[in-house]
Chains A and B, each alone.
Chain A
Protein backbone atom coordinates (compact mmCIF):
# COMPACT_ATOMS: atom_id res chain seq x y z
CA UNK A 1 0.00 0.00 0.00
CA UNK A 2 2.83 2.36 0.95
CA UNK A 3 4.55 1.58 -2.35
CA UNK A 4 1.35 2.41 -4.20
CA UNK A 5 1.02 5.76 -2.45
CA UNK A 6 4.53 6.73 -3.47
CA UNK A 7 3.79 5.61 -7.03
CA UNK A 8 0.61 7.71 -6.97
CA UNK A 9 2.56 10.69 -5.69
CA UNK A 10 5.07 10.24 -8.54
CA UNK A 11 2.37 10.17 -11.21
CA UNK A 12 0.53 13.17 -9.74
CA UNK A 13 3.75 15.14 -9.45
CA UNK A 14 4.61 14.37 -13.05
CA UNK A 15 1.13 15.40 -14.19
CA UNK A 16 1.30 18.71 -12.33
CA UNK A 17 4.76 19.46 -13.69
CA UNK A 18 3.45 18.65 -17.17
CA UNK A 19 0.49 21.03 -17.17
CA UNK A 20 2.40 23.78 -15.42
CA UNK A 21 5.31 23.45 -17.87
CA UNK A 22 2.97 24.03 -20.80
CA UNK A 23 0.75 26.59 -19.03
CA UNK A 24 0.39 28.59 -22.24
CA UNK A 25 -1.47 25.61 -23.69
CA UNK A 26 -3.19 24.37 -20.56
CA UNK A 27 -4.09 27.31 -18.32
CA UNK A 28 -4.15 30.40 -20.46
CA UNK A 29 -6.55 29.48 -23.31
CA UNK A 30 -9.59 28.66 -21.10
CA UNK A 31 -9.03 31.83 -19.09
CA UNK A 32 -8.95 33.94 -22.26
CA UNK A 33 -11.98 32.18 -23.77
CA UNK A 34 -14.07 32.59 -20.63
CA UNK A 35 -13.01 36.23 -20.34
CA UNK A 36 -14.33 36.77 -23.86
CA UNK A 37 -17.63 35.17 -22.80
CA UNK A 38 -17.79 37.53 -19.82
CA UNK A 39 -17.16 40.53 -22.08
CA UNK A 40 -19.39 39.58 -24.99
CA UNK A 41 -22.25 37.66 -23.37
CA UNK A 42 -22.11 39.19 -19.92
CA UNK A 43 -21.32 42.81 -20.62
CA UNK A 44 -22.43 43.56 -24.20
CA UNK A 45 -25.45 41.28 -24.48
CA UNK A 46 -26.20 40.69 -20.80
CA UNK A 47 -26.66 44.38 -20.11
CA UNK A 48 -29.69 44.32 -22.40
CA UNK A 49 -31.27 41.28 -20.71
CA UNK A 50 -33.52 41.02 -17.68
CA UNK A 51 -32.44 39.54 -14.38
CA UNK A 52 -32.91 35.78 -13.89
CA UNK A 53 -34.33 34.77 -10.49
CA UNK A 54 -33.19 38.09 -9.11
CA UNK A 55 -29.55 37.97 -10.29
CA UNK A 56 -28.00 39.89 -13.17
CA UNK A 57 -27.32 37.96 -16.38
CA UNK A 58 -23.60 38.46 -15.83
CA UNK A 59 -23.80 36.93 -12.35
CA UNK A 60 -26.07 34.15 -13.72
CA UNK A 61 -23.52 32.94 -16.27
CA UNK A 62 -20.51 32.98 -13.89
CA UNK A 63 -21.08 29.46 -12.42
CA UNK A 64 -21.79 28.01 -15.86
CA UNK A 65 -18.65 29.50 -17.35
CA UNK A 66 -16.54 28.29 -14.44
CA UNK A 67 -18.06 24.82 -14.80
CA UNK A 68 -17.51 24.86 -18.56
CA UNK A 69 -13.81 25.62 -18.03
CA UNK A 70 -13.53 22.87 -15.40
CA UNK A 71 -15.22 20.29 -17.66
CA UNK A 72 -13.07 21.04 -20.69
CA UNK A 73 -9.80 21.35 -18.78
CA UNK A 74 -10.27 18.19 -16.72
CA UNK A 75 -11.27 16.16 -19.73
CA UNK A 76 -8.61 17.42 -22.09
CA UNK A 77 -5.82 17.16 -19.51
CA UNK A 78 -6.36 13.47 -18.94
CA UNK A 79 -7.09 12.51 -22.53
CA UNK A 80 -4.07 14.34 -23.89
CA UNK A 81 -1.69 13.26 -21.15
CA UNK A 82 -2.80 9.64 -21.20
CA UNK A 83 -2.89 9.37 -24.97
CA UNK A 84 0.48 11.15 -25.16
CA UNK A 85 1.93 8.59 -22.75
CA UNK A 86 0.45 5.81 -24.80
CA UNK A 87 1.67 7.30 -28.07
CA UNK A 88 5.21 7.85 -26.79
CA UNK A 89 4.97 4.47 -25.05
CA UNK A 90 6.18 5.92 -21.76
CA UNK A 91 3.03 4.43 -20.25
CA UNK A 92 5.06 1.23 -20.29
CA UNK A 93 7.14 2.75 -17.49
CA UNK A 94 4.14 2.15 -15.26
CA UNK A 95 3.06 -1.14 -16.82
CA UNK A 96 6.44 -2.77 -16.14
CA UNK A 97 6.49 -1.47 -12.57
CA UNK A 98 4.37 -2.82 -9.71
CA UNK A 99 1.88 0.02 -10.07
CA UNK A 100 -1.71 -1.06 -9.40
CA UNK A 101 -4.38 -0.16 -11.96
CA UNK A 102 -6.19 2.09 -9.49
CA UNK A 103 -2.98 4.04 -8.91
CA UNK A 104 -2.56 4.62 -12.63
CA UNK A 105 -6.18 5.76 -12.91
CA UNK A 106 -5.98 8.09 -9.95
CA UNK A 107 -2.60 9.43 -10.94
CA UNK A 108 -3.81 10.65 -14.31
CA UNK A 109 -7.21 11.63 -12.99
CA UNK A 110 -5.69 13.67 -10.18
CA UNK A 111 -3.78 15.66 -12.78
CA UNK A 112 -7.05 16.36 -14.59
CA UNK A 113 -8.84 17.29 -11.38
CA UNK A 114 -6.10 19.66 -10.28
CA UNK A 115 -5.86 21.36 -13.65
CA UNK A 116 -9.66 21.62 -13.86
CA UNK A 117 -9.89 23.15 -10.40
CA UNK A 118 -7.01 25.53 -11.04
CA UNK A 119 -8.55 26.73 -14.29
CA UNK A 120 -11.96 27.01 -12.58
CA UNK A 121 -10.42 29.11 -9.84
CA UNK A 122 -8.69 31.39 -12.35
CA UNK A 123 -11.94 31.90 -14.28
CA UNK A 124 -13.76 32.59 -11.03
CA UNK A 125 -11.17 35.25 -10.11
CA UNK A 126 -11.57 36.80 -13.57
CA UNK A 127 -15.31 37.06 -12.98
CA UNK A 128 -14.59 39.54 -10.13
CA UNK A 129 -13.68 42.09 -12.80
CA UNK A 130 -17.26 41.89 -14.09
CA UNK A 131 -19.49 41.04 -11.15
CA UNK A 132 -19.42 39.90 -7.55
CA UNK A 133 -21.08 36.46 -7.30
CA UNK A 134 -22.68 35.67 -3.95
CA UNK A 135 -22.17 32.34 -2.20
CA UNK A 136 -25.25 30.52 -0.91
CA UNK A 137 -23.74 27.16 0.08
CA UNK A 138 -19.99 26.65 -0.16
CA UNK A 139 -20.28 22.90 0.48
CA UNK A 140 -22.51 22.45 -2.57
CA UNK A 141 -20.12 24.51 -4.69
CA UNK A 142 -17.21 22.35 -3.57
CA UNK A 143 -19.11 19.10 -4.05
CA UNK A 144 -20.20 19.95 -7.58
CA UNK A 145 -16.93 21.37 -8.81
CA UNK A 146 -14.84 18.51 -7.41
CA UNK A 147 -17.16 15.72 -8.55
CA UNK A 148 -17.50 17.29 -11.99
CA UNK A 149 -13.71 17.52 -12.30
CA UNK A 150 -13.46 13.87 -11.20
CA UNK A 151 -16.18 12.74 -13.62
CA UNK A 152 -14.72 14.48 -16.66
CA UNK A 153 -11.18 13.51 -15.79
CA UNK A 154 -12.35 9.90 -15.76
CA UNK A 155 -14.21 10.53 -19.02
CA UNK A 156 -10.96 11.79 -20.50
CA UNK A 157 -9.30 8.60 -19.31
CA UNK A 158 -11.84 6.41 -21.14
CA UNK A 159 -11.36 8.51 -24.27
CA UNK A 160 -7.58 8.23 -23.89
CA UNK A 161 -7.73 4.46 -23.49
CA UNK A 162 -9.73 3.99 -26.68
CA UNK A 163 -7.96 6.67 -28.73
CA UNK A 164 -5.71 5.18 -31.37
CA UNK A 165 -4.73 8.36 -33.18
CA UNK A 166 -4.66 12.08 -32.42
CA UNK A 167 -8.00 12.64 -34.21
CA UNK A 168 -9.68 10.36 -31.68
CA UNK A 169 -8.62 12.68 -28.89
CA UNK A 170 -10.63 15.53 -30.42
CA UNK A 171 -13.76 13.72 -31.60
CA UNK A 172 -15.56 13.36 -28.26
CA UNK A 173 -14.87 16.89 -26.96
CA UNK A 174 -15.82 18.49 -30.29
CA UNK A 175 -18.93 16.52 -31.14
CA UNK A 176 -20.27 15.57 -27.72
CA UNK A 177 -18.79 17.54 -24.87
CA UNK A 178 -19.00 21.06 -26.27
CA UNK A 179 -22.64 20.70 -27.51
CA UNK A 180 -23.68 19.18 -24.18
CA UNK A 181 -22.02 22.02 -22.30
CA UNK A 182 -23.58 24.74 -24.44
CA UNK A 183 -26.99 23.13 -24.10
CA UNK A 184 -26.41 22.48 -20.40
CA UNK A 185 -27.88 25.76 -19.18
CA UNK A 186 -24.63 27.72 -19.02
CA UNK A 187 -26.16 30.76 -20.74
CA UNK A 188 -29.85 30.32 -19.94
CA UNK A 189 -32.32 28.88 -17.50
CA UNK A 190 -34.06 25.84 -18.99
CA UNK A 191 -37.30 27.13 -17.51
CA UNK A 192 -37.21 29.77 -20.27
CA UNK A 193 -37.25 27.05 -22.94
CA UNK A 194 -40.39 25.62 -24.56
CA UNK A 195 -41.68 22.57 -22.69
CA UNK A 196 -40.39 20.12 -25.31
CA UNK A 197 -36.83 21.44 -25.05
CA UNK A 198 -37.08 21.50 -21.27
CA UNK A 199 -37.77 17.76 -21.42
CA UNK A 200 -34.93 17.17 -23.91
CA UNK A 201 -32.55 19.18 -21.72
CA UNK A 202 -33.21 16.86 -18.80
CA UNK A 203 -31.39 14.09 -20.69
CA UNK A 204 -28.25 16.21 -20.69
CA UNK A 205 -26.09 15.31 -17.68
CA UNK A 206 -24.14 18.56 -17.89
CA UNK A 207 -27.36 20.43 -17.01
CA UNK A 208 -27.33 18.90 -13.53
CA UNK A 209 -23.74 19.90 -12.93
CA UNK A 210 -24.16 23.47 -14.05
CA UNK A 211 -27.52 23.86 -12.33
CA UNK A 212 -26.36 22.32 -9.04
CA UNK A 213 -23.19 24.40 -9.08
CA UNK A 214 -25.23 27.55 -9.67
CA UNK A 215 -27.48 26.59 -6.76
CA UNK A 216 -24.40 26.73 -4.52
CA UNK A 217 -23.95 30.38 -5.48
CA UNK A 218 -27.47 31.75 -5.58
CA UNK A 219 -29.74 29.21 -3.91
CA UNK A 220 -32.04 28.62 -6.88
CA UNK A 221 -32.08 25.84 -9.42
CA UNK A 222 -34.06 24.58 -12.39
CA UNK A 223 -33.79 20.97 -11.20
CA UNK A 224 -34.14 19.51 -7.70
CA UNK A 225 -30.70 19.85 -6.10
CA UNK A 226 -30.80 16.37 -4.56
CA UNK A 227 -31.59 14.87 -7.93
CA UNK A 228 -28.63 16.76 -9.42
CA UNK A 229 -26.35 15.38 -6.70
CA UNK A 230 -27.67 11.89 -7.35
CA UNK A 231 -27.08 12.18 -11.11
CA UNK A 232 -23.56 13.51 -10.57
CA UNK A 233 -22.60 10.76 -8.14
CA UNK A 234 -24.21 8.07 -10.32
CA UNK A 235 -22.34 9.19 -13.44
CA UNK A 236 -19.09 9.44 -11.48
CA UNK A 237 -19.47 5.91 -10.16
CA UNK A 238 -20.39 4.48 -13.58
CA UNK A 239 -17.45 6.09 -15.36
CA UNK A 240 -15.19 5.13 -12.46
CA UNK A 241 -16.18 1.46 -12.78
CA UNK A 242 -15.66 1.58 -16.56
CA UNK A 243 -12.19 3.02 -15.99
CA UNK A 244 -11.24 0.39 -13.44
CA UNK A 245 -12.46 -2.39 -15.73
CA UNK A 246 -10.57 -1.09 -18.76
CA UNK A 247 -7.30 -0.63 -16.90
CA UNK A 248 -7.56 -3.96 -15.08
CA UNK A 249 -8.14 -5.77 -18.36
CA UNK A 250 -5.37 -3.77 -20.00
CA UNK A 251 -7.71 -2.76 -22.82
CA UNK A 252 -5.95 -0.30 -25.09
CA UNK A 253 -2.75 -0.72 -23.08
CA UNK A 254 -1.49 -4.24 -23.59
CA UNK A 255 -1.29 -6.17 -26.84
Chain B
Protein backbone atom coordinates (compact mmCIF):
# COMPACT_ATOMS: atom_id res chain seq x y z
CA UNK B 1 0.00 0.00 0.00
CA UNK B 2 1.41 3.37 -1.00
CA UNK B 3 0.51 5.49 2.01
CA UNK B 4 1.63 9.02 2.70
CA UNK B 5 4.98 9.49 4.36
CA UNK B 6 3.46 12.39 6.28
CA UNK B 7 -0.17 13.18 6.83
CA UNK B 8 -1.16 16.13 8.97
CA UNK B 9 -4.75 16.92 9.88
CA UNK B 10 -5.88 20.16 11.50
CA UNK B 11 -2.59 20.54 13.35
CA UNK B 12 -2.55 23.33 15.90
CA UNK B 13 0.09 24.76 18.16
CA UNK B 14 -0.31 27.56 20.65
CA UNK B 15 2.88 28.41 22.51
CA UNK B 16 2.97 29.65 26.07
CA UNK B 17 2.29 33.35 25.82
CA UNK B 18 -0.51 32.79 23.32
CA UNK B 19 1.34 32.72 19.99
CA UNK B 20 -0.72 30.71 17.49
CA UNK B 21 2.12 29.11 15.55
CA UNK B 22 -0.10 26.65 13.67
CA UNK B 23 -3.77 27.37 13.03
CA UNK B 24 -5.10 24.03 11.86
CA UNK B 25 -2.78 22.76 9.17
CA UNK B 26 -3.55 19.99 6.69
CA UNK B 27 -0.67 18.57 4.70
CA UNK B 28 0.25 15.40 2.89
CA UNK B 29 3.64 14.28 1.69
CA UNK B 30 3.73 11.18 -0.47
CA UNK B 31 6.18 8.34 0.08
CA UNK B 32 9.30 8.90 -2.00
CA UNK B 33 8.50 12.56 -2.55
CA UNK B 34 10.95 15.44 -2.35
CA UNK B 35 8.73 18.02 -0.72
CA UNK B 36 9.44 21.66 0.09
CA UNK B 37 7.80 23.55 2.89
CA UNK B 38 8.27 27.24 2.25
CA UNK B 39 7.45 30.15 4.45
CA UNK B 40 8.86 33.31 5.93
CA UNK B 41 10.61 33.29 9.31
CA UNK B 42 8.10 32.52 12.03
CA UNK B 43 5.57 31.07 9.59
CA UNK B 44 5.44 27.76 11.48
CA UNK B 45 7.76 25.49 9.46
CA UNK B 46 10.05 24.58 12.35
CA UNK B 47 7.05 24.05 14.64
CA UNK B 48 5.63 21.45 12.22
CA UNK B 49 9.00 19.70 12.14
CA UNK B 50 9.28 19.89 15.93
CA UNK B 51 5.90 18.20 16.33
CA UNK B 52 6.72 15.48 13.81
CA UNK B 53 10.03 14.73 15.48
CA UNK B 54 8.87 14.94 19.09
CA UNK B 55 10.60 18.09 20.32
CA UNK B 56 7.43 20.19 20.35
CA UNK B 57 4.08 19.23 21.91
CA UNK B 58 1.12 19.94 19.66
CA UNK B 59 -1.98 21.70 20.96
CA UNK B 60 -4.44 19.92 18.68
CA UNK B 61 -4.90 17.91 15.51
CA UNK B 62 -3.36 14.72 14.23
CA UNK B 63 -0.12 13.78 12.55
CA UNK B 64 0.74 10.47 10.94
CA UNK B 65 4.06 9.23 9.64
CA UNK B 66 3.87 6.24 7.30
CA UNK B 67 0.31 5.79 8.48
CA UNK B 68 1.21 5.66 12.16
CA UNK B 69 -0.24 8.12 14.63
CA UNK B 70 2.50 10.11 16.42
CA UNK B 71 0.35 10.17 19.55
CA UNK B 72 0.28 6.39 19.75
CA UNK B 73 3.52 4.95 18.43
CA UNK B 74 5.95 7.84 18.28
CA UNK B 75 8.89 5.65 19.29
CA UNK B 76 8.27 3.28 16.39
CA UNK B 77 7.88 6.22 14.05
CA UNK B 78 11.11 7.83 15.23
CA UNK B 79 13.09 4.86 13.92
CA UNK B 80 12.01 5.79 10.39
CA UNK B 81 12.75 9.49 10.65
CA UNK B 82 16.01 11.41 10.39
CA UNK B 83 16.14 15.08 11.23
CA UNK B 84 18.61 17.80 10.30
CA UNK B 85 17.65 20.78 12.44
CA UNK B 86 18.11 24.38 11.51
CA UNK B 87 20.71 25.10 14.19
CA UNK B 88 23.83 23.11 14.97
CA UNK B 89 22.80 21.02 17.94
CA UNK B 90 25.64 18.60 18.51
CA UNK B 91 28.06 18.71 21.40
CA UNK B 92 30.85 20.97 20.21
CA UNK B 93 33.38 19.19 22.43
CA UNK B 94 32.67 15.75 20.99
CA UNK B 95 34.58 14.22 18.11
CA UNK B 96 32.92 13.89 14.73
CA UNK B 97 32.87 10.09 14.74
CA UNK B 98 31.62 9.94 18.34
CA UNK B 99 28.67 12.19 17.52
CA UNK B 100 27.54 9.95 14.69
CA UNK B 101 28.20 6.66 16.48
CA UNK B 102 26.49 7.79 19.70
CA UNK B 103 23.45 8.83 17.67
CA UNK B 104 23.38 5.36 16.11
CA UNK B 105 23.26 3.94 19.64
CA UNK B 106 20.12 5.95 20.33
CA UNK B 107 18.49 3.96 17.54
CA UNK B 108 19.67 0.65 18.94
CA UNK B 109 22.61 0.07 16.60
CA UNK B 110 25.43 -1.93 18.12
CA UNK B 111 28.72 -0.08 18.27
CA UNK B 112 30.60 -2.21 15.72
CA UNK B 113 27.74 -1.84 13.24
CA UNK B 114 27.53 1.88 13.96
CA UNK B 115 31.26 2.30 13.34
CA UNK B 116 30.93 0.62 9.95
CA UNK B 117 28.00 2.78 8.93
CA UNK B 118 29.71 5.90 10.25
CA UNK B 119 32.74 5.17 8.07
CA UNK B 120 30.59 4.93 4.95
CA UNK B 121 28.53 8.02 5.64
CA UNK B 122 31.47 10.14 6.72
CA UNK B 123 33.33 9.12 3.57
CA UNK B 124 30.30 9.89 1.41
CA UNK B 125 30.06 13.33 2.97
CA UNK B 126 33.82 13.99 2.86
CA UNK B 127 34.18 14.07 6.63
CA UNK B 128 36.18 10.90 7.15
CA UNK B 129 39.49 12.77 7.47
CA UNK B 130 37.95 14.88 10.23
CA UNK B 131 36.52 12.00 12.23
CA UNK B 132 38.89 12.44 15.18
CA UNK B 133 38.47 16.21 15.32
CA UNK B 134 36.24 17.96 17.80
CA UNK B 135 33.13 19.21 16.03
CA UNK B 136 33.82 22.78 17.15
CA UNK B 137 36.86 22.87 14.86
CA UNK B 138 34.82 22.15 11.70
CA UNK B 139 33.89 24.81 9.17
CA UNK B 140 30.23 25.80 8.78
CA UNK B 141 29.80 23.59 5.73
CA UNK B 142 31.37 20.60 7.46
CA UNK B 143 29.09 21.09 10.44
CA UNK B 144 26.09 21.02 8.09
CA UNK B 145 27.36 17.78 6.56
CA UNK B 146 27.94 16.34 10.01
CA UNK B 147 24.29 17.06 10.83
CA UNK B 148 23.25 15.17 7.70
CA UNK B 149 25.57 12.27 8.54
CA UNK B 150 24.10 12.07 12.02
CA UNK B 151 20.55 12.13 10.65
CA UNK B 152 21.28 9.30 8.22
CA UNK B 153 23.19 6.93 10.48
CA UNK B 154 20.09 4.83 11.22
CA UNK B 155 19.05 4.76 7.54
CA UNK B 156 15.72 6.56 7.89
CA UNK B 157 12.94 6.29 5.32
CA UNK B 158 11.96 9.89 5.88
CA UNK B 159 14.53 12.67 6.12
CA UNK B 160 13.47 16.08 7.40
CA UNK B 161 15.80 18.94 6.61
CA UNK B 162 15.20 22.31 8.23
CA UNK B 163 17.15 24.83 6.16
CA UNK B 164 20.10 22.51 5.62
CA UNK B 165 22.04 24.81 3.33
CA UNK B 166 21.78 28.00 5.36
CA UNK B 167 25.19 29.65 5.45
CA UNK B 168 26.73 27.11 3.08
CA UNK B 169 28.78 28.36 0.14
CA UNK B 170 27.53 27.86 -3.42
CA UNK B 171 29.85 24.99 -4.35
CA UNK B 172 29.04 23.04 -1.23
CA UNK B 173 25.35 23.76 -1.59
CA UNK B 174 25.35 22.24 -5.05
CA UNK B 175 27.26 19.24 -3.70
CA UNK B 176 24.62 18.79 -1.03
CA UNK B 177 21.85 19.07 -3.59
CA UNK B 178 23.40 16.26 -5.59
CA UNK B 179 23.74 14.12 -2.48
CA UNK B 180 20.12 14.74 -1.47
CA UNK B 181 18.86 14.06 -4.98
CA UNK B 182 20.66 10.71 -5.00
CA UNK B 183 19.28 9.93 -1.58
CA UNK B 184 15.76 10.70 -2.77
CA UNK B 185 16.28 8.51 -5.83
CA UNK B 186 17.26 5.67 -3.51
CA UNK B 187 13.76 5.87 -2.01
CA UNK B 188 14.14 8.22 0.95
CA UNK B 189 11.27 10.69 1.29
CA UNK B 190 12.61 14.17 1.91
CA UNK B 191 10.82 17.09 3.52
CA UNK B 192 12.80 20.26 3.10
CA UNK B 193 12.34 23.74 4.44
CA UNK B 194 14.54 26.36 2.94
CA UNK B 195 14.97 30.05 2.44
CA UNK B 196 16.55 29.44 -0.93
CA UNK B 197 13.50 29.20 -3.18
CA UNK B 198 15.78 28.27 -6.06
CA UNK B 199 16.74 25.22 -4.01
CA UNK B 200 13.11 24.14 -3.70
CA UNK B 201 12.44 24.71 -7.40
CA UNK B 202 15.54 22.75 -8.36
CA UNK B 203 15.11 19.80 -6.00
CA UNK B 204 11.48 19.35 -5.08
CA UNK B 205 8.54 17.86 -6.88
CA UNK B 206 5.89 19.20 -4.54
CA UNK B 207 5.66 22.25 -2.38
CA UNK B 208 3.53 23.84 0.30
CA UNK B 209 3.66 27.49 1.21
CA UNK B 210 2.90 28.34 4.81
CA UNK B 211 2.01 31.80 5.99
CA UNK B 212 1.30 32.80 9.56
CA UNK B 213 0.52 29.25 10.63
CA UNK B 214 -1.66 28.33 7.67
CA UNK B 215 -0.97 26.48 4.44
CA UNK B 216 -1.89 28.95 1.74
CA UNK B 217 -0.79 27.00 -1.33
CA UNK B 218 0.14 23.44 -2.01
CA UNK B 219 0.72 21.35 -5.10
CA UNK B 220 3.38 20.25 -7.50
CA UNK B 221 6.08 22.79 -8.31
CA UNK B 222 5.16 22.67 -12.02
CA UNK B 223 1.50 23.18 -11.24
CA UNK B 224 2.18 26.15 -9.01
CA UNK B 225 4.44 27.76 -11.53
CA UNK B 226 1.64 27.74 -14.09
CA UNK B 227 -0.39 29.91 -11.76
CA UNK B 228 2.05 32.76 -12.21
CA UNK B 229 0.23 35.07 -14.61
CA UNK B 230 3.20 37.27 -15.41
CA UNK B 231 6.87 36.64 -15.88
CA UNK B 232 9.56 39.28 -16.14
CA UNK B 233 12.55 38.77 -18.43
CA UNK B 234 15.77 40.68 -18.82
CA UNK B 235 16.68 40.99 -22.48
CA UNK B 236 20.11 41.97 -23.82
CA UNK B 237 19.87 43.57 -27.23
CA UNK B 238 22.31 45.07 -29.70
CA UNK B 239 20.75 48.54 -29.61
CA UNK B 240 17.83 50.48 -28.22
CA UNK B 241 16.33 53.10 -30.47
CA UNK B 242 14.07 55.73 -29.04
CA UNK B 243 11.50 55.25 -31.79
CA UNK B 244 10.90 51.60 -30.84
CA UNK B 245 7.33 50.90 -29.90
CA UNK B 246 6.31 47.71 -28.14
CA UNK B 247 2.85 48.74 -27.08
CA UNK B 248 1.66 45.20 -26.45
CA UNK B 249 4.19 44.71 -23.67
CA UNK B 250 5.02 46.42 -20.44
CA UNK B 251 8.71 47.07 -20.76
CA UNK B 252 11.37 49.40 -19.49
CA UNK B 253 14.90 50.28 -20.53
CA UNK B 254 17.54 49.39 -17.96
CA UNK B 255 20.51 50.71 -19.95
CA UNK B 256 21.39 51.29 -23.61
CA UNK B 257 21.56 47.56 -24.31
CA UNK B 258 19.24 46.02 -21.74
CA UNK B 259 15.48 46.02 -21.43
CA UNK B 260 13.15 44.42 -18.95
CA UNK B 261 9.84 43.10 -20.18
CA UNK B 262 6.81 41.66 -18.46
CA UNK B 263 5.09 38.91 -20.41
CA UNK B 264 1.72 37.63 -19.31
CA UNK B 265 0.60 34.09 -19.89
CA UNK B 266 -1.67 35.02 -22.80
CA UNK B 267 1.31 36.07 -24.84
CA UNK B 268 4.51 34.21 -25.59
CA UNK B 269 8.09 35.27 -25.78
CA UNK B 270 7.86 34.67 -29.50
CA UNK B 271 5.49 37.64 -29.74
CA UNK B 272 7.98 39.85 -28.03
CA UNK B 273 10.95 38.68 -30.05
CA UNK B 274 8.97 39.09 -33.27
CA UNK B 275 8.18 42.66 -32.28
CA UNK B 276 11.86 43.35 -31.69
CA UNK B 277 12.76 41.69 -34.94
CA UNK B 278 10.35 43.93 -36.82
CA UNK B 279 12.10 46.90 -35.31
CA UNK B 280 15.46 45.52 -36.47
CA UNK B 281 16.69 44.81 -32.95
CA UNK B 282 18.74 41.67 -32.36
CA UNK B 283 18.35 39.71 -29.15
CA UNK B 284 21.73 38.65 -27.73
CA UNK B 285 20.60 37.15 -24.44
CA UNK B 286 17.40 36.55 -22.55
CA UNK B 287 16.88 35.39 -18.99
CA UNK B 288 14.08 35.34 -16.43
CA UNK B 289 14.36 38.06 -13.83
CA UNK B 290 14.59 36.29 -10.50
CA UNK B 291 13.28 32.86 -9.70
CA UNK B 292 9.76 31.92 -10.78
CA UNK B 293 8.88 30.10 -7.60
CA UNK B 294 10.35 32.96 -5.64
CA UNK B 295 8.03 35.33 -7.45
CA UNK B 296 5.05 33.16 -6.66
CA UNK B 297 6.21 32.90 -3.06
CA UNK B 298 6.54 36.65 -2.74
CA UNK B 299 3.18 37.21 -4.43
CA UNK B 300 1.55 34.92 -1.89
CA UNK B 301 3.31 36.45 1.07
CA UNK B 302 2.41 39.93 -0.04
CA UNK B 303 -1.19 39.10 -0.85
Contact = CB atoms under 8 A, between A and B. Distances in A.
A17 B108 contact: no
Interface string B66-90: 0000000011101101010101011
Contacts of B85: 89, 92
Contact of A17 (B89, B92, B98): B98
A13 B104 CA distance: 13
Contact of B108 (A7, A14, A89, A96): A7
Contacts of A18: 93
Contact of A14 (B74, B98, B110): B98
A9 B53 CA distance: 23
- Most chain-B CB neighbours within 10 Å: which of A9, A10, A14, A89? A10
B40 interface: no
B91 interface: yes
A85 to B, nearest CB: 7
Interface in A134-192: none
A48 interface: no
Interface in B98-152: 98, 102-110, 150
Given A3-B107, A93-B150, A255 B55 contact: yes
Interface in A239-253: 250, 253
Given A21-B93, A90-B90, A98-B78, A10 B106 contact: yes
A99 B50 CA distance: 16
A98 B15 contact: no
A10 B87 CA distance: 23
Contacts of B76: 98
B102 A99 contact: no
B60 interface: no
Q: Is the interface of A mostly helix, strand, loop or mixed?
A: helix
A17 B94 CA distance: 9
Interface size class on chain B is: 35 or more
B54 interface: yes
Interface in B274-301: none
Interface in A1-59: 2-4, 6-7, 9-11, 13-14, 17-18, 21
Interface size class on chain A is: 20 to 34
Contacts of B172: none
Nearest to A1: B108
A94 B99 CA distance: 12
Given A3-B107, A6-B109, A89-B87, A96 B55 contact: yes
Contact of A254 (B56, B75, B91, B106): B56
Nearest to A249: B57
Contact of B102 (A4, A13, A84, A88): A13
Nearest to B110: A6
B89 A90 contact: yes
Given A92-B55, A254-B55, A255-B57, A97 B106 contact: yes
A13 B75 CA distance: 22
A250 B74 CA distance: 14
Given A7-B106, A98-B75, A93 B53 contact: no
A90 B91 contact: yes
Given A21-B93, A255-B57, A93 B106 contact: yes
A15 to B, nearest CB: 11
A185 to B, nearest CB: 38
A97 to B, nearest CB: 4
A95 interface: yes
A97 B89 contact: no
Contacts of B89: 88-90, 92-93
Contact of A96 (B16, B83, B87, B93): B83
Contacts of A84: 91
A98 B79 CA distance: 6
Given A10-B106, A92-B85, A98-B107, A255 B90 contact: no
Q: Which 6 A-B pairs have the closest CB atoms?
A: A10-B105, A3-B108, A97-B106, A89-B89, A98-B75, A98-B78
Interface of B: 15-16, 50, 53-57, 74-76, 78-79, 81, 83, 85, 87, 89-94, 98, 102-110, 150, 154
